[in-house]
Amino acid sequence: MTRAPHFLALALAGLLASCSASDPGEYSAAERIARNFAVSQEVLTNFQGVDADLRADCKRAGGSGAICSTYRITLVNEGPAVGADERDWSLYFHSVRRTLSLLNRDDFALEHVKGDLHRLVPTGKFAGIGAGEALELDFLAEFWMQFESDFMPRLFTVDGAGGAHVIESTDSDGIEGLVLPINKNNPANWKRAANDANVLASAGSRYAEFSDDLSQAHDSWRERIIPQPLKTERSGEPVALATGIAVDAGSLASPSLHAFRQRLEQLQLAPTGPGAYPVRVHIDGSAFAAKTTGAYQLKVGERGAQVLGYDQAGAFYGLQSLLALVDVKSRTLARVDVEDAPRFPHRGMFLDVGRNFHSKEVVLKLLDQMAAYKLNRFHFHLSDDEGWRLEIPGLPELTAVGSQRCFDLSETRCLLPQLGSGPHSDNNGSGYFSVDDYIEIVRYAAARHIEVVPEFDMPAHARAAIVAMEARYRRLQAESPEKAGEYRLLDPQDDTRFLSVQFYDDSYINPCIDSTYHFVGKLIREVQAMHQAAGQPLGSWHFGGDEAKNILADNGFENAPGSDPDKGDVAAEARQQPWSNSPQCQKLVASGAVASIEELGAFYAKRVSGLVAEAGIATMAAWHDGVKHIDNAEKELASEDNYVNSWEQLPWGGTAHSAHLAEAGFDVVQSHSDFLYFDMPYEVDPKESGYYWASRHTDTRKVFSYAPLNTAQLAEVSTDRDGYGWSATAPGAAFAERVRGIQGQLWSEVVRTDALVEYMIFPRLLALAERAWHRADWELPLIEGQEFSAETNAVDKRAVDADWREFAAALGHKELLKLDLGGVGYRVPVPGAQVENGQLLTALPYPGLDLEYFDGERWQAVTDPVPAAAAQALRARSADGRRAGRAVELEGPRPSTAQR
């Protein structure tokens, strides 16, 4: 990697800036650094085989499995010098990888503060930082850094008085200009290990992937409804919608009618005159042989359409299918007859607002699009270590402290900065929904036939609640110790040494104390009251339950392909189960109320199920980790109905894991992380944003290929995280009866903005809806014991390809423009390209979008064939033409600059 030109330019800028900088005496060293320092971050080494000493260094530093990477933070002083005697400051930075040591300097001490927050403190050897000087800081970090989004913005300094100052050059939600490109030409820079078989995305690889003849779909996209109905028959030529659509709603409930009319306005299809196309709605359950909630019939005629719903939901879905037949660009409506019913009762989408807060506006926008594509469960993740996001009457500290991030080492006013939020409270990490906000969201969802499933994640992932309730304890302790301890969530005598997956040592509530359950009961009552105020009873309670483990003793990467189970020199006393040293938990085990410390997660689930049942809530849900020690849900849990989100990666046994949960008496909502976690990157390109612990890429087609009942068949059509084939065995046919549905997830560790929420979810959500509603012909029946792998050939891959082509054509020609009209900033695909006979050939994963090429001076539309020599870069535009997607540099010898 060449860095000299970059640093020479920065040094020159520093010399120029120093000539006009303010008098150093005016500001502290911390303030001058914040005002004047330029910062860059970069990966040095990921590939373990390059550096023989790296593995040993990692093992000595306590890295799990002796697997580490190295990265660099460079600070360039563009202002006056910082003197050697100015040591009363520290530098704070975020790292989503546990940073273990500073490799190349002894003039700073590295300290892990909390979670992803680390700091450097000048030592007695600090010699100052001269004007124009570049300070290179090389770090050893656990695991890998393979996407640029691993790096976080908003580094900050803290002065001797405790004042925090964001380094101005890093004060942005984005990382453009802050992170140097990961070198795609150097395997050490982007590979995970020697046997990493992934192939980086390029113009050529995309072309090879996208260049199937999409014209094979012909014009069938005009009649193609997403999600696909059970039966569709063309009944005539399309109808013009010159003056919009008028609805005679019949007995459709007014909130749903209002929601539908809002959708008409959004798509510019509201009636504008007496000639509007008429649609009549009826509801009559007796007209349907199969009694399925959400079933409907739709007949689109030349002079009007009729929707017949089995129930209210069916009538609403019939109207959504009517709009799916509209080509907004030509303002025409395809004429078809439809008979339809949903595949699964649970068709879900999950949004994490705990790690980073996301606005009510983006939540409502998501609900609009869920309704348009017939998804009906909104899983609302309202708490995590990094934030509490719902006002709870009577517990003001939850939002006054637990929803805010700022720099306060005592955490009496707020939580410490995390995930690039910076030290000031006005940031992406601070915020909450008021009671009125939540009631509005529940009502808005209900009008669109979506159930809100609130989740408050416990007993792990609960640090925001713990810190907040400790603040409450301190406030009330003098007034009334009994009242102060009523909702306390920890045993103050518990000195168990643990480290959570997110690097916290104080984030697990204690399941052995009654005040924990007083707190959970209070939550249930208050949230239930909000649902009642919204006119929608609380039907489901999700208690979370995931990742209550000690990563020093039990790391998810430990048995991963290409990793090493050797745990290094972690001390034996660090290998403790959470709560091992809690006197209250030891007492509970000694009493026989719970068999062992390892069973405390199940003990917590059982007690919460009692609170759920006592409140009259029918359904309790959890992530699969939370119930892994429950063998018989019907006997061990008090709640009437129980389901589990099964998220284990399929190459690591996810199919068998789901089957085991079903055998234990749980309904299963398939949520497998390598196919249905939308925080995974779209493709293997370091420029894409996302986590990648489960999969290096999950694009829209991969979501489309998911087989919810027979996930074992996916071993024929996908690779594992490292690019290799895997194998799986199908469960018996009875498993299908336990699958309640599927759900997409967006976790928010590296999703700081509402815009990125939309980018990550769309258009993948449409493929999710397809699989949740419709069973494809290429999905195989369950045959117990059937083996699948890259070597088997049971899946009809041609049928998958043909089905995708029709879906992709409908997506590109119709649905993306509807997303544009809905104000959704979906991901515009990165195009593929290939040179043939001197001409530039291009391809996209779905048709209908315009392309542009950069000729060295400006962007031009791709219309006629483009001479390859004229094009330096290529990009696609959104369906409405208003946004450009990420550009791809074209391969081969070309002029060196491409202005983006």
689-733 pLDDT per residue, tens: 999 999 999 999 999 999 999 999 999 999 999 999 999 999 999
Share of the chain above pLDDT 70, in %: 92
864, 764: one domain: no
Instruction: Decide which of 324, 340, 356 is a domain's last residue.
Output: 340
φ, ψ of residue 290 in degrees (nearest 5): -90, 130
pLDDT at residue number 793:
97
Mean pLDDT computed over every residue of the chain:
92
Rounded Cα distance, 99 and 351, in Å:
28
Whether 379 has a pLDDT exceeding 80, the answer reads: yes
How many residues comprise the chain? 900
Give the pLDDT confidence of 6-46 residue by residue, as tens digits.
Answer: 444 444 444 444 444 445 668 999 999 999 999 999 999 98
Q: For residue 13, give Cα distances in angstroms to 19, 40, 205, 519.
A: 10, 15, 39, 56
pLDDT at residue number 26:
85
Rounded Cα distance, 606 and 636, in Å:
7
Q: For residue 88, give Cα distances in angstroms to 30, 122, 135, 255, 678.
A: 8, 8, 18, 61, 43
Averaged pLDDT, 576-583? 92
627, 677: one domain: yes
123, 44: one domain: yes
Rounded Cα distance, 508 and 504, in Å:
9
SS3 832: strand
334, 393: one domain: no
Give the pLDDT confidence of 119-155 residue by residue, as tens digits.
Answer: 999 999 999 999 999 999 999 999 999 999 999 999 9
Domain CATH code at residue 270: 3.30.379.10
Q: For residue 861, give Cα distances in angstroms to 158, 522, 590, 791, 853.
A: 50, 59, 74, 44, 6
Q: What is the residue whose two structure tokens read 């001058």?
A: 32
357, 450: one domain: yes
Among 71, 70, 113, residue whose Cα is nearest residue 91? 113
Instruction: Decide which of 292, 324, 340 is a domain's last residue.
Output: 340
Q: For residue 95, give Cα distances in angstroms to 92, 144, 717, 898.
A: 10, 11, 34, 31
Cβ atoms of 651 and 110 within 8 Å: the answer is no
> What amino acid is encoded at 118 in this protein?
H
Tell me whether strands 89-94 and 117-122 are parallel, antiparallel or unpaired: antiparallel
Q: Lowest mean pLDDT: which of 269-283, 395-409, 552-566?
A: 552-566
Rounded to two decimals, the pTM is 0.94
Whether 166 has a pLDDT exceeding 70, the answer reads: yes
pLDDT at residue number 434:
98
Averaged pLDDT, 89-97? 96
Give the pLDDT confidence of 181-226 residue by residue, as tens digits.
Answer: 998 888 888 888 878 999 999 999 999 999 865 545 567 899 999 9
pLDDT at residue number 865:
86
Tell me whether strands 451-458 and 540-544 are parallel, antiparallel or unpaired: parallel
pLDDT at residue number 14:
45
Cβ atoms of 254 and 229 within 8 Å: the answer is no
Q: SS3 sequence, 605-628?
A: HHHHHHHHHHCCCCEEEEEHHHHC
For residue 158, give both structure tokens: 């803290």
Strands (E), 245-341: 245-248, 277-283, 296-300, 305-309, 326-327, 332-340
pLDDT band at 393 (very low <50, low <70, confident <90, very high): very high
Domain CATH code at residue 854: 2.60.40.10
pLDDT at residue number 51:
66
Residue 561 lies in a domain: no
Instruction: Decide which of 170, 195, 220 is a domain's last residue.
Output: 170
What range defines the domain where residue 741 resides?
A: 346-476+505-546+610-709+731-779
Averaged pLDDT, 756-763? 98
Count Cβ atoms below 10 Å from residue 802 Cβ, excluding itself.
16
Cα 566–Cα 570–Cα 572 angle in degrees, nearest 5: 105
Cβ atoms of 757 and 681 within 8 Å: the answer is no
pLDDT at residue number 750:
96
Whether 425 has a pLDDT exceeding 90, the answer reads: no
Residue 716 lies in a domain: no
pLDDT at residue number 295:
98
Residue 724 lies in a domain: no
Residue 788 lies in a domain: no
450, 401: one domain: yes
Q: How far is CA 17 from the centre of its chain?
A: 41
Cross-strand pairs, 451: 377
pLDDT at residue number 49:
64
Residue 428 lies in a domain: yes
Residue 310 lies in a domain: yes
351, 317: one domain: no
Residue 384 lies in a domain: yes
265, 383: one domain: no
Residues 6 or more apart from 126 whose CB is under 8 A from it? 84, 87, 107, 108
35, 100: one domain: yes
pLDDT at residue number 616:
98
Q: For residue 201, give Cα distances in angstroms to 141, 209, 684, 832.
A: 26, 10, 6, 9
Burial 142-153 (b: 16+ CB within 10 A, else e): bbbbbbbbbbbb
Count: domains in the chain: 4
Active site residues: 547
Rounded Cα distance, 892 and 868, in Å:
10
Domain CATH code at residue 760: 3.20.20.80
Give the pLDDT confidence of 801-831 residue by residue, as tens digits.
Answer: 999 999 999 999 999 999 999 999 999 999 9
pLDDT at residue number 1:
35
261, 149: one domain: no
648, 626: one domain: yes
Burial of 777 (0-12, 13-18, 19+ CB in 10 A): exposed
> What are the residue ranges of helices labelled H in 278-336?
312-324
Higher pLDDT, 60 or 105: 105
pLDDT at residue number 66:
74
Rounded Cα distance, 444 and 440, in Å:
6
Residue 671 lies in a domain: yes
Give the pLDDT confidence of 433-462 residue by residue, as tens digits.
Answer: 999 999 999 999 999 999 999 999 999 999
362, 462: one domain: yes
Burial of 337 (0-12, 13-18, 19+ CB in 10 A): middle
DSSP per-residue string spanning 55-81: HHHHHHHT-GGG-EEEEEEEEEE-SSP
Give the pLDDT confidence of 232-277 residue by residue, as tens digits.
Answer: 999 999 999 999 999 999 999 999 999 999 999 999 999 998 899 9
Give the pLDDT confidence of 302-313 residue by residue, as tens digits.
Answer: 999 999 999 999
